[in-house]
Amino acid sequence: MSAPVAVPPPKKCELTITAEQFNYTQPPAGQFKGTFPASPSRTVTMKLSKVPAPFPFSLTGGPFYQGRLFEGGVDKGSITLAWVSKFFRRATLEIDTLVGAVRPAPVPDGAGGTEFFDTVFAKTGWQLSVVQDQLNVPVPSGVVATNCWSSADLHALMTTVRNPATNLDTEWRVHMIVVPAKLGCSRGIMYDQIGVPREGCASFSDDGYPVSDSSNFGLAANKKQRDVPRAFLRSATHELTHTLNQIHQEQETAADNSIMTTTPSVADVLGGPATGAPGVFPDQIALAHNTNVRHHLNHMPDPVIRPGGWPFASWFPTGAPQAADRHDFEPSELALTVTATTDRVALGQPLDLTWTMTNTSGVSLRAPNDVSTEALFASIAVTDGEGHERPVRPFVILCEHAKLGELEPGKSVTASAKVFWSTAGFAFEKPGRYRVDVAVSWSAQGVMVGVQSGIDVFVDYPTSASDNHSANLVLHPEVGKWVALGGDAYHLGEACRRLQALSQTAVPSGARAATAAAGDDTTAPRAIDGFADMLPDRAKLARLRPELSTETGGRTPRGPARAAAPGRKRAAKAKGRAGRKR
């Protein structure tokens, strides 16, 4: 950009701006991460002069410029630059509140005013409209509202209560559902990562600040969020900012007293040696994004930030280290062990993966206290035999208890996941050899550090009509969503139908005679082994999806009852171990 220092009258002062344009390539249907070219799509030059602003731009009080646009020295036409707002971006927050829950409320700002979602984002440079929508939303059937909520129940609730007229292409709109839950449920989650990414988040009014998360919660210790308004608003704003594709500062820079640092880490920052006076949490919580997050929110491209745009954290580098910007610990310092229940799976069979990070040094190391993908410190990538890498992103962002802490010598942190489907597609789309890698990463004073490891997996070729039929049933996005939600997603009708069919028959009934005559195997398909803890419960299916019983002529599904499936017990134990220190 250039402008003359002085211009003699009557000549007009002319401002020259050179700009590079990068054209965005939309992703294929069903995907959400497009691409920008490495080099500019074109370079243009604008020659502008300031003129009086016409109505309605005269109402903004800002400058107004008109001039000509040139490309390659060729005049392409007129151009106008007008000041339209003091904000960089705008969005709408829609809040629905379940019966028995309490939504976040404005809090004093210390100067006679109040702070709320809109003022926090105004300081960042956003115009946020807050719609306090439905109150006393009924508790869904079969859900205990004062327990920890499953991802499936939250997703089902969102699909029934959010504004049906929402169009993310015309309005950036985020849905927040406030439910009671209870102490220890993680205060809130950004749970909507399937279908259209980042549409919704949840806040838990009756969760709060257990001393197991931090010893620096001060007067908020063991209290519910509804009883600590400033901390409650901070936590809810944290989840809201996750829906705008922002990650934890412990991953990107360092823990600080800002919105995108996790709550326990904020308490530890405030309760540290320099500010350890009693009561600093929650009274001295800063309701603001730090400079780093403000820059992202205002200057990252629209597709990266907007709800329904790029999948969560897909802009952030993970995986193989680059010597200039990442340090991996040696196995003699910090070791990551990755295991699976099997190294061979059938086509369409989920892979149960477990990883353990162990301090193998003789001293304490500062490391994540939770290495689950939902806590954002860990990532999974699957690479096929042709070298094509595909990330396996978590559906739920469950991170409010996660922080960097001291990992004692010999101690471990373990997590697990079912590798099957994510917003990037199916992990194992075809038979062949794959590499499954896990990376655990965090920031140490602005430098990425971590550990990584992986295993080789072979996806077997189908050997029977039964194998082919089962793969056809389960390699469907709705079944993928069912698995990503942890099962019990009875609002996904197509997934229920397909999994019911998987549990009922080995091959379609009309094909049994033909395959048997040909000597083909008609036993239960191998893929069902990966769904032993994920098949629909017979009683719930009959109650919540009675039309499926009608489709089968009233026959009772022959799949195993939920309590009888040993795979469910294994999965429950694995889930209980996930992210815990040993």
* Helix (H) or strand (E) run with residue 270 in it: helix 263-270
Of 305, 337, 361, the last residue of a domain is: 305
- If one compares 515 and 474, the residue with the highest pLDDT of the two is 474
Strands 432-444 and 378-384 come out as antiparallel
Confidence of residue 200 (pLDDT cuts 50, 70, 90): confident
Q: Are residues 106 and 254 in the same domain?
A: yes
**Of 190, 305, 281, 271, which Cα lies nearest the Cα of 231?**
281
Q: Are residues 25 and 94 in the same domain?
A: no
Confidence of residue 318 (pLDDT cuts 50, 70, 90): low
Whether residue 501 is predicted with pLDDT greater than 60 in this model: the reply is yes
Q: Are residues 337 and 241 in the same domain?
A: no
What is the structure's pLDDT at 29? 80
In a domain, 579, yes or no: no
Residue 392: φ, ψ to 5°:
-110, 95
In a domain, 475, yes or no: yes
- If one compares 191 and 270, the residue with the highest pLDDT of the two is 270
What's the predicted TM-score (pTM) here? 0.77
**Of 480, 571, 490, which Cα lies nearest the Cα of 529?**
571
* Direct distance between the N- and C-terminal alpha carbons of the chain, in angstroms, rounded to an integer: 58
Q: Are residues 103 and 249 in the same domain?
A: yes
In a domain, 474, yes or no: yes
* Greatest mean pLDDT among 8-12, 309-313, 332-336: 332-336
Q: Are residues 483 and 424 in the same domain?
A: no
Domain with residue 113: its CATH number is 3.40.390.10
Q: Are residues 440 and 473 in the same domain?
A: no
Of 31, 48, 82, the last residue of a domain is: 82
Q: Is 3 exposed, middle or buried (0-12, 13-18, 19+ CB in 10 A)?
A: exposed
In a domain, 321, yes or no: no
Residue 46: φ, ψ to 5°:
-110, 130
What is the structure's pLDDT at 533? 85
Q: Are residues 432 and 348 in the same domain?
A: yes
What is the structure's pLDDT at 315? 86
Tokens (6 digits) for 352: 């149960």
Confidence of residue 163 (pLDDT cuts 50, 70, 90): confident
Distances (CA, A) of 162 to 65, 97, 98, 153, 365: 41, 11, 12, 14, 44
Average pLDDT over residues 242-267: 92
Whether residue 506 is predicted with pLDDT greater than 60 in this model: the reply is no
Can you list the pairs that 506-515 forms with residues at least 24 positions away whose Cβ atoms lie under 8 Å?
506/466, 506/469, 506/470, 507/464, 507/465, 507/466, 507/469, 508/469, 511/465, 511/469, 515/464, 515/465, 515/466
Average pLDDT across the chain, whole number: 86
Across 79-83, 230-234, 403-407, 506-510, least confident range: 506-510
Q: Are residues 196 and 292 in the same domain?
A: yes
Whether residue 168 is predicted with pLDDT greater than 80 in this model: the reply is yes
Q: Are residues 258 and 183 in the same domain?
A: yes
Measure the CA–CA gap between 384 and 362, rounded to whole angstroms.
38
- If one compares 511 and 467, the residue with the highest pLDDT of the two is 467
In a domain, 108, yes or no: yes
**Of 481, 507, 455, 499, which Cα lies nearest the Cα of 345?**
455
Q: Are residues 269 and 140 in the same domain?
A: yes
- If one compares 308 and 148, the residue with the highest pLDDT of the two is 148
In single-letter form, the type of residue at position 90 comes to: R
* Helix (H) or strand (E) run with residue 91 in it: strand 89-97
Q: Are residues 163 and 266 in the same domain?
A: yes
In a domain, 241, yes or no: yes
Of 305, 335, 356, the last residue of a domain is: 305
Whether residue 186 is predicted with pLDDT greater than 80 in this model: the reply is yes
Domain with residue 402: its CATH number is 2.60.40.10
pLDDT digits 0-9 by tens, 512-544: 444 444 455 556 788 998 998 889 988 888 888
Measure the CA–CA gap between 148 and 76, rounded to whole angstroms.
59
Tokens (6 digits) for 474: 């389960």
**Of 238, 256, 242, which Cα lies nearest the Cα of 120?**
238
* Greatest mean pLDDT among 271-275, 432-436, 543-547: 432-436
Q: Are residues 346 and 447 in the same domain?
A: yes
Confidence of residue 301 (pLDDT cuts 50, 70, 90): very high
Confidence of residue 505 (pLDDT cuts 50, 70, 90): low
Average pLDDT over residues 151-168: 85
In a domain, 10, yes or no: no
The helix, strand and coil proportions of the chain, stated in percent and rounded to the nearest 5, come to 25, 25, 50
Average pLDDT over residues 279-301: 95
Confidence of residue 582 (pLDDT cuts 50, 70, 90): very low
In a domain, 552, yes or no: yes
Residue 273's domain spans which residues?
89-305
- Answer whether 269's CB lies under 8 Å from 286's CB: no
What is the structure's pLDDT at 278? 65
**Of 307, 197, 315, which Cα lies nearest the Cα of 244?**
307
Across 329-343, 375-389, 507-521, least confident range: 507-521
Domain count, the chain: 4
